[in-house]
Each structure stands twice: as C-alpha cells, then as structure tokens.
Structure 1
Amino acid sequence: MALWDWTLKAYDRPGVAEACLKAQDGHGLNTSLLLWAAWADPDDAALAQAVEIGKAWETTVLWPLRHVRRDLKTAMPGVGDQARLDLREDVKAAELRSERVLMESFEALAGQAAGPVDLTLALNRAAQAWRNDAPPKIAIAELAAALA
C-alpha cells in the first residue's frame, strides 16, 4: 500500500489525529516524517535525507500555509466572512496537498512499506533525528499506541 493511502487509513484510527497534533504543536515534530517512519522503518541514511528534505519543505511551504490557514479562522475587518472562510478552505486544501508532496518525497527514499515495524523504536528514531535531541517519550508512546 502506498504511503499516502496508508497514512489516510492510519489517520482515521481513534487517537491518531490527536497524537499527531500533540507531537506537531506540542513538541515541534513533523508528523509526515513520523508517519513515514512508522510505515517505512527507514535506515539512518534515508532518515537523514528525509529530515533535510522535511525541514526545508516545512520552512518554505508547510508552515507558511499553516499560519495563513490558522490566521483565516479569525474575522477580519472589511473582509466578508464567507469569502474569508472559502479562502481558508482553499489554503487548507493546499496545505494538505503540500503534506502529500512531502510524503511522496519521503516514500521515494524508502521505496515500499517495511514489514512489521517496532513503532516506538521507529518513531523515537525519527523524532530524535528531527529534533536532534531526546524525543518526547510520552507523545511518541501515545502515537505508537494509536497506530498499533
């Protein structure tokens, strides 16, 4: 199964979306990288490449889109609410598409899904590579449990 398809199924599981958001907003992790690591269990070289790609993409594309989407939640003087909310939906679609492009880039590094993966180990390795320090153990444990 392709990474994007796997991700959509995984994201529908109870607790996965919440655990991803906590890892992202609470700990500065890249959820696309985490989900890819759970899917591919990449080697160190692929993981290092993915972190490099992911950080550049996040800075240039994901965060600007995410900030605009979040800012468009709030009413703005002189701008009609429906027009603002319609634009927010367009930005949300672009943000989702940018996450898919990133995950397709990650998938190209690892090829296909790994067999059974030690989720906690794979997620911890990805989190540590992303942060370059100790991963947030509770957040990782929650995501691993939700994905299991």
Structure 2
Amino acid sequence: MSLWDWTLDLYARDGVPEATLSLQDEHGQNTSYLLWAIWAEGPSAAALAEAVVVAKAWDAKVLMPIREVRRALKPAFPPVDDSAREGLRQDVKAAELRAERVLMETLEVLAPAASGGHPALESLRAAAAAWGSPADDEGLARLARALV
C-alpha cells in the first residue's frame, strides 16, 4: 500500500488527526514526515537525515505559505463575499493536501514501507530527534497509540 493510501486509512482512526495536528502546530513537527517514519518502520539515520532536508525545505517554500493562506481565509473578510471566500479557501485546502501528497510521494522513495522493522513509537522518537526540534513525547506516544 502506498504511503498516501496508508495515511488516508490512518486519518480515519479516532485520535490520529488530533495527535498529528498537535505535533505539527504545538511542537513544530512535520506530519507527513512523521507518518512516513511510522510507515517505513523507522528508516535508517541516513534516510531520516535526507528526509529532514527535503521536508524542511518543502515546509518553508510550499506548505507553510499555502497553510498560512488557508488559515487567513477562514474568518470573514469583509467586503469579500463569504461564499466566494470559502470557495477559495477550499481550493487552497485542496492545494495544501496536494502539496502534502507530493512530499509523501517524495519521502516514499527514500525508504519503502516496513523497511526499518521498528515499532511506531520508536520510529516517531527517532524521526522527531532527527527533525531537530523537541517533540512532546506524550504527543508522540498518543499518536503511536492511535495507530492500534
């Protein structure tokens, strides 16, 4: 199963969206990168390092600007018509999801599914450490528990 399809299945589970968004918004982690690390069952240190470079650059140049626009379009923006604003926000949201998919497809090439053989929490901890900014260990554990 592709990383993207696996992620779509995963997001249908209770607690997964909340856990990933908390790690993203409160702890500066990249959701696509973390999910890839779980899917690959703990990629090698070299693959993690390469993925960090790719994901951080993609975050800075593509994902963050799109996300910022999507969030800016959420509240009313007088005198812009609400339905027009919301339609544009939905278009931007679709672009943000497409950007996340492109990143995941890129990461998928760096380490295939189940290549590392490590449990989810161990994979998350290694990925968060390689990311370089501290992640909430309870947040990582919450995401790992939501997978079962």
TM interval, shorter chain, is over 0.9
Structure 2: where are the runs of 5+ without partners?
Answer: none
Q: Does 1:98 align with 2:102?
A: no
Instruction: Name the counterpart of 2:18.
Output: 18
RMSD over aligned Cα atoms: 1.3
Instruction: Name the counterpart of 2:135.
Output: 135
Q: Is the 8 A contact 2:19 2:142 kept in 1?
A: yes
Q: Is the 8 A contact 1:23 1:31 kept in 2?
A: yes
Distance 2:5 2:64 in 1: 23
Alpha-carbon offset, residue 147 of structure 1: 1.3
Q: Is the 8 A contact 2:4 2:105 kept in 1?
A: yes
TM-score, length of structure 2 as denominator length: 0.95
Matching residue's letter, 1:143: L
1:34-73 alignment, distance < 5 Å: 34-40=34-40, 41-73=42-74
Distance 1:69 1:114 in 2: 35
SS state of the match for residue 42, structure 1?
coil
- Of the structure 1 ranges 133-142 and 76-85, higher mean CA displacement relative to structure 2 is found in 133-142
Structure 1: where are the runs of 5+ without partners?
Answer: none
Alpha-carbon offset, residue 19 of structure 1: 0.3
Distance 1:115 1:4 in 2: 18
Alpha-carbon offset, residue 71 of structure 1: 0.6
Distance 2:92 2:133 in 1: 32
Alpha-carbon offset, residue 133 of structure 1: 4.8
Q: Is the 8 A contact 2:73 2:86 kept in 1?
A: yes
Matching residue's letter, 1:113: A
Q: Percent identity?
A: 56
**Aligned pair in 2 of structure 1 residues 98, 133: CA closer, same or farther (>3 Å)?**
closer
Distance 1:14 1:123 in 2: 18
Alpha-carbon offset, residue 37 of structure 1: 0.3
